[in-house]
Amino acid sequence: MNITSRVPIGPVGVITPWNTPFMLSTWKIAPALAAGCTVVHKPAESSPLTARLLIEIAEEAGLPAGVLNTVNGFGEVAGKALCEHPKIRAIAFVGESRTGSLITKQGADTLKRNHLELGGKNPVIVFDDADLERALDAVIFMIYSINGERCTSSSRLLIQDSIREEFEAKLVERVKNIKVGHPLDPSTEVGPLINEEHFNKVTGYFDIAKQDKATIAVGGEAIGNEGYFVKPTLFTGADNAMRIAQEEIFGPVLTSIPFSTEEEALEIANDTLYGLTGYVWTNDLTRALRFTDKLEAGMIWVNSENVRHLPTPFGGVKASGIGRDGGDWSFEFYMEQKHIGFATGQHKISRLGVQ
C-alpha cells in the first residue's frame, strides 16, 4: 500500500511589492497559512501601511502570535536577511526580475525553494478580424488602469497593418481623454506614480523613445510641478528592437508595433526576455488556438482583458518567474509531498547474509 501525503514546508518568507500591496500580500500569505506554515512578511518600503493593517486584522481574527509576522525595511538589508536565514525554508516574491535573480542567489547556500512572480513586457495582439471596439476598450484598460503600474499590463500593442491607421487614430483620441487627477477623486482614471524614483524612471523613457526614433503620439511629459503625475502616453512608429519595446517601463505608457502576418506577430510577441501574459484579439477560433499554443507566456487571454478565475495557475515563464499562485497550485509550493509505502500480506523480504 502506498500513501502520499502533504506536510507544511516550514517557515516561509513573503516579499511583496508596492503595487496592489494588500491584494498581493494575501495571495501569498493566505495559502501559506492554510498549508500550515508560519510567515515572515517583508512589504515594500513604499507601502508599509497595508501590511500593518493586515496584521491588525489577523490579530483581531484570533490568529496566534508568531504565526504571521511583519518585518519592515529595505530589500538590501531586511530582504537579504530573510533570504539568507537558515530557518526560512522558502521565499515567495513578487517584484522585478533583477531582484528575483538576487533572491535566488541569496537563498542558494540554504537551498531555499523560491516562488518568483516577476516582470513582464506583455503583448496585446489585435488581428484585423477582431471586434475592434471591444479590443480598443481592453487595450486602454490593460495599460492605463492602475497607472500602468502592474506586471500584467499589456504594454506592447501589436496591431495588424490593415487596421493599424484606424485603430491608432481611435486610440489617440481615447488616450487624450483619460482624466489624470487626485487618486481619491471618483472621476480620476489615472493618478500619480508611486514615488520620485519611479517617476524619474518612467519619464526617462520619453527621451529614450525620441532617441529610438519612435513617435510620441500622445503624452510624453509630466503634468505640473507638484506630485508625480504623468500624461498617459502612446508611442507609435516603433519596432520591437527599441528599448521602449523591450524594457518594462511600469507606467501609463503603451508602445504600438505593426505586423502583417500571423507568423510575424508571433515572432514579435515572443521576442522578449519576459513571458508573463499575452492577450489575443481575433474572431478566428482556429487561429486563436494555434497562436496561443506557440505564444511564450504563462497566462493568455483571448478576446478578454485580465479576468482572473482564481483557482487557475497565475505565473510566468522565462524572466517573468518561477512557480504558480492560485488554488491547489499554491499548495504545491508551501507543502512537501511525503510518500509512505506499507508492506501488506505475506510480502517476501530478502534476507541477505543468512547462512
Task: For 210-249, write each residue's pLDDT tens digit.
Answer: 999 999 999 999 999 899 999 999 999 999 999 999 999 9
Residue 138 has pLDDT above 90, yes or no: yes
The pLDDT, as a whole number, for residue 49 is 96
Which of 37, 151, 168, 248 is labelled catalytic?
Answer: 151
What is the structure's pLDDT at 354? 77
Cell numbers for 61, please give them.
Answer: 481574527
Check if 247 is active-site. Answer: no
Decide if pLDDT at 352 tops 90.
no
Where in the chain are all domains bearing CATH 3.40.605.10?
Answer: 2-118+316-340
Helices (H), the chain: 21-34, 49-61, 80-84, 97-106, 132-144, 161-176, 196-211, 243-246, 262-270, 285-294, 327-334
User: Tens digit of pLDDT for each residue in 173-198?
Assistant: 999 999 999 999 999 999 999 999 99
Q: State the CB neighbour count (10 A cutoff) for residue 105.
A: 10
Average pLDDT value over all residues in the chain: 96
| Mean pLDDT to the nearest integer, 305-331 | 93
Residue 16 makes CB contacts below 8 A (sequence gap 6+) with: 24, 25, 28, 41, 42, 43, 44, 51, 93, 94, 95
- Catalytic residue status for 83: no
Helix (H, G, I), strand (E, B) or coil at 45: coil
Query: pLDDT per residue over 255-312, tens digit each?
Result: 999 999 999 999 999 999 999 999 999 999 999 999 999 999 999 999 999 998 889 9
**What pLDDT is recorded for position 343?**
85
Q: What is the pLDDT of residue 350?
A: 75
Phi-psi domain of 62 (left: phi exceeds 0; alpha: psi -120 through 50; beta: other): left
* Superfamily in which the 2-118+316-340 domain is placed by CATH: Aldehyde Dehydrogenase; Chain A, domain 1 (3.40.605.10)
Q: Which residue has the higher pLDDT, 352 or 241?
A: 241
Locate CATH 3.40.309.10 in the chain.
123-302
What pLDDT score was predicted for residue 288?
98
Active-site residue identified among 117, 149, 168, 305: 117
If you average pLDDT over residues 134-162, what whole number do you get?
A: 97
Among 3.30.720.110, 3.40.50.261, 3.30.450.20, 3.40.309.10, what is the CATH number of 123-302? 3.40.309.10
The whole-number pLDDT of residue 347 equals 67
Q: How far apart are CA 115 and CA 313, in angstroms?
A: 13
Residue 251 pLDDT greater than 70, yes or no:
yes
- Whole-Å CA distances, 219 to 119, 140, 163, 241: 24, 14, 23, 22
- 84-111 pLDDT, tens digit per residue, is 999 999 999 999 999 999 999 999 999 9
Separation between Cα atoms, residue 125 and residue 148, nearest integer Å: 18
Distance of alpha carbon 122 from its chain centroid, rounded? 10
